[in-house]
């Protein structure tokens, strides 16, 4: 792998050196379309020149409301080559949420697909900054006062592009915002390079391999942990429109993918699909992602003939924990990678001993290797970086060998009658019940103060689990204070597009007429 150094650690230099090194070799594949390294770079330069021509200046934010496509890559890289900051917009956003992001990021220029532009026009009166839209697809009949132009019509003006440095802002990635409005994570160019190089080394990717990604490109998972590592490895990024259980393995075989990203929920969904005789007949060698259910992972790896590397990371701080390939500990997030310091601390930021639960805090060894802050949120930035460590808000436990086990999001921990309860531990027991496909544990207000434990379960197809039997199973396998009081059956759990369960929606809904109450039933 070609490693960039010093001031060369930027996306423009990365893309140029990759084009010079790989020329006409394929870089990106999507459906039946393939783009080579030199074509990708030329397309990005052309768009960058056009953006400069219409008034985009270094440091300006450019919003992108685009579905997965190779045009997304062209626009992403074009924005960065212009010295501007890409702001990929979650394609599920609409109404107030969409207006908040577009106003908060202060983008005067938006690149948008037609259906997503229609949502923007619906909230035109609420937008304070937006002026120009480059439309991918047809133009609207009524642009509502916006300067709407076809993306393909942007003029490519000759001339030198701006010089970009590793610490310059490359992207503002908006988080899910489960406890408030979405926060814009500001990522410098150096992040993209560091995260790509570390992913290649961490997974032992082989030069020229194809990496498969089925997640939305508006997320760091698809950009910095899929696209960038594939290109850093002089390989190919094979992109899907979206995740599909029925198409996943057909795509992997068609593209000849040797590696892939997988969320823990992806593992569960793929494993729940009916077994087929040719399940192991696939080219996938290694996958990585957040820890998968311990009850599922060994059988999943055996069934599909691959290795799954469990990691821990975030949009703000990169992957900071991973399982070494020569000593994997299933069910853990592994050890700190060499590029970051990691500690577990208590509420006073004092380090906790092995075996005790603490918040994961981290800091990088190399400059510009994690977020610069939250966009237009100085107080949130200061709180996250207090005492010179980035505070993740996640809880973990470290064993004597240095392996970390994720316990919970600090905000998802449940407090019941003086005891702290990990929702993850509750879910791990419930998931062992053979009729359960998926589940989520969370706290609801208790009449006795603090909280009671509630669980929503999704049954496996055709199954009708008896809650009384499941509750009795939990009573046998977890401490009494941890056994859920409230239970509910649902067809599915609310999730973000990246697979995270939106527990705030479940908490807001709370106990209802269909909820089974263990204490009332007796």
76-97 pLDDT, tens digit per residue, is 999 999 999 999 998 988 888 8
Range of weakest confidence among 17-21, 202-206, 415-419? 415-419
Q: What is the mean pLDDT of residues 106-115?
A: 97
140/207 same-domain check: no
Q: In whole angstroms, give the CA distance from residue 167 to residue 188.
A: 5
228/160 same-domain check: no
* Residue 1 domain flag: no
- For residue 128, the domain's CATH number is 3.40.50.980
* Residue 388 domain flag: yes
371/516 same-domain check: no
3-state secondary structure of 451: strand
Who has greater pLDDT, 169 or 294? 169
Q: Which domain holds residue 239?
A: 187-409
Q: How many domains does the chain have?
A: 3
Residue that is last in its domain, among 379, 409, 439:
409
Q: Specify the pTM.
A: 0.84
Dihedral pair phi/psi, residue 239, rounded to 5°: -110, 135
Range of weakest confidence among 15-19, 67-71, 368-372, 515-519? 515-519
149/200 same-domain check: no
Average pLDDT of the chain?
A: 92
422/399 same-domain check: no
Residue that is last in its domain, among 409, 437, 460:
409
Owner of token pair 């697809």: 137
202/58 same-domain check: no
146/192 same-domain check: no
| pLDDT reported for residue 235 | 98
Q: What is the mean pLDDT of residues 487-503?
A: 85
Q: Is 355 left (phi over 0), alpha (psi -120 to 50) or beta?
A: left
266/130 same-domain check: no
395/418 same-domain check: no
DSSP 501: B
Measured from the Cβ of residue 336, the count of other Cβ atoms closer than 10 Å reads 19
Q: In whole angstroms, give the CA distance from residue 312 to residue 298.
A: 19
Q: DSSP of 245-261, one letter per residue?
A: HHHHHHHHHHHT-SEEE
* Residue 17 domain flag: no
| pLDDT reported for residue 521 | 72
Residue among 249, 256, 247 nearest 277 (CA): 249
Residue 419 has pLDDT above 90, yes or no: no
Q: What is the mean pLDDT of residues 96-121?
A: 95
With cut-offs at 50, 70 and 90, classify the pLDDT of residue 121. Answer: very high
241/380 same-domain check: yes
* Residue 179 domain flag: no
Range of weakest confidence among 30-39, 256-265, 333-342? 256-265
Contacts of residues 266-273 at CB distance under 8 Å and 24 or more positions apart, as own/partner, are 266/499, 267/292, 267/293, 267/296, 267/297, 267/300, 267/308, 268/292, 268/293, 268/296, 268/437, 268/438, 269/245, 270/245, 270/300, 270/304, 271/296, 271/299, 271/300, 271/303, 272/437, 272/460, 273/245, 273/246
| pLDDT reported for residue 336 | 96
With cut-offs at 50, 70 and 90, classify the pLDDT of residue 430. Answer: very high
How far is the CA of 378 from the CAs of 88, 184, 266, 381, in angstroms?
Answer: 21, 11, 35, 5
Owner of token pair 């070799």: 25
Give per-residue pLDDT as tens, 189-216: 999 999 999 999 999 999 999 999 999 9
With cut-offs at 50, 70 and 90, classify the pLDDT of residue 448. Answer: low
Name the range with the highest mean pLDDT among 352-356, 417-421, 450-454.
352-356
Encoding tokens for residue 104? 């908060």
The two beta strands, 451-459 and 486-489, are parallel
Give per-residue pLDDT as tens, 133-191: 999 988 999 999 999 999 998 888 778 899 999 999 999 999 865 456 789 999 999 99
Encoding tokens for residue 87? 């702001």
- For residue 385, the domain's CATH number is 3.40.50.12780
């Amino acid at each position: 792998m070609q490693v960039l150094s010093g001031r060369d650690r930027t996306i423009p230099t990365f893309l140029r050196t990759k084009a010079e090194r790989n020329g006409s070799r394929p870089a990106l594949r999507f459906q039946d379309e393939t783009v080579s390294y030199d074509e990708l770079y030329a397309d990005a330069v052309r768009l960058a020149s056009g953006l400069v021509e219409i008034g985009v200046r270094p440091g300006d934010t450019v919003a992108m409301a685009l579905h997965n496509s190779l045009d997304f890559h062209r626009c992403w890289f074009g924005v960065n080559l212009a010295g501007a900051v890409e702001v990929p917009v979650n394609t599920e956003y609409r109404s107030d949420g969409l207006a908040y992001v577009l106003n908060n990021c202060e983008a005067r220029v938006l690149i948008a697909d037609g259906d997503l532009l229609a949502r923007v026009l619906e909230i035109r009166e609420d937008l304070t900054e937006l002026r120009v839209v480059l439309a991918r697809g047809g133009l609207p009949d009524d642009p509502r006062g916006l300067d709407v132009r076809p993306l393909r019509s942007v003029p490519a003006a000759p001339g030198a592009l701006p010089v970009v440095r590793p610490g310059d802002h490359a992207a503002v990635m908006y988080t899910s915002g489960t406890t408030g409005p979405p926060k814009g994570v500001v990522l410098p160019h150096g992040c993209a390079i560091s995260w790509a190089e570390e992913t290649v080394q961490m997974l032992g990717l082989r030069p020229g391999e194809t990496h498969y990604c089925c997640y939305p490109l508006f997320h760091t998972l698809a950009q910095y942990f899929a696209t960038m590592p594939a290109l850093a490895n002089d390989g190919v990024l094979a992109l899907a429109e979206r995740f599909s259980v029925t198409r996943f393995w057909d795509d992997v075989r068609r593209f000849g993918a040797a590696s892939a990203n997988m969320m823990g929920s992806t593992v569960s969904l793929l494993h729940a699909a009916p077994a087929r005789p040719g399940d192991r007949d696939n080219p996938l060698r290694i996958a990585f992602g957040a820890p998968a259910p311990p009850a599922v992972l060994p059988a999943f790896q055996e069934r599909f003939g691959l290795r799954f590397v469990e990691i821990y990371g975030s949009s703000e701080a990169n992957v900071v924990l991973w399982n070494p390939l020569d000593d994997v500990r299933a069910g853990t997030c592994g050890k700190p990678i060499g590029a970051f310091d990691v500690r577990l601390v208590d509420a006073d930021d004092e380090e906790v001993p092995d075996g005790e639960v603490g918040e994961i805090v981290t800091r990088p060894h190399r400059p510009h290797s994690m977020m610069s802050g939250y966009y237009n949120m100085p107080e949130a930035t200061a709180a996250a970086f207090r005492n010179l460590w980035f505070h993740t808000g996640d809880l973990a436990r470290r064993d004597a060998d240095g392996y970390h086990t994720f316990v919970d999001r600090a905000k998802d921990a449940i407090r019941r009658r003086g005891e702290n309860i990990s929702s993850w531990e509750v879910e791990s027991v419930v998931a062992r019940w053979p009729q359960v496909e998926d589940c989520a544990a969370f706290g609801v207000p208790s009449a006795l103060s603090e909280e009671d434990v509630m669980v929503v379960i999704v049954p496996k197809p055709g199954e009708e689990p008896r809650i009384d039997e499941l509750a009795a199973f939990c009573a046998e396998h977890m401490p009494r204070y941890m056994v859920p009081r409230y239970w509910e059956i649902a067809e599915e759990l609310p999730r973000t597009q990246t697979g995270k369960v939106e527990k705030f929606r479940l908490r807001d809904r709370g106990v209802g007429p269909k909820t089974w109450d263990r204490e009332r039933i007796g």
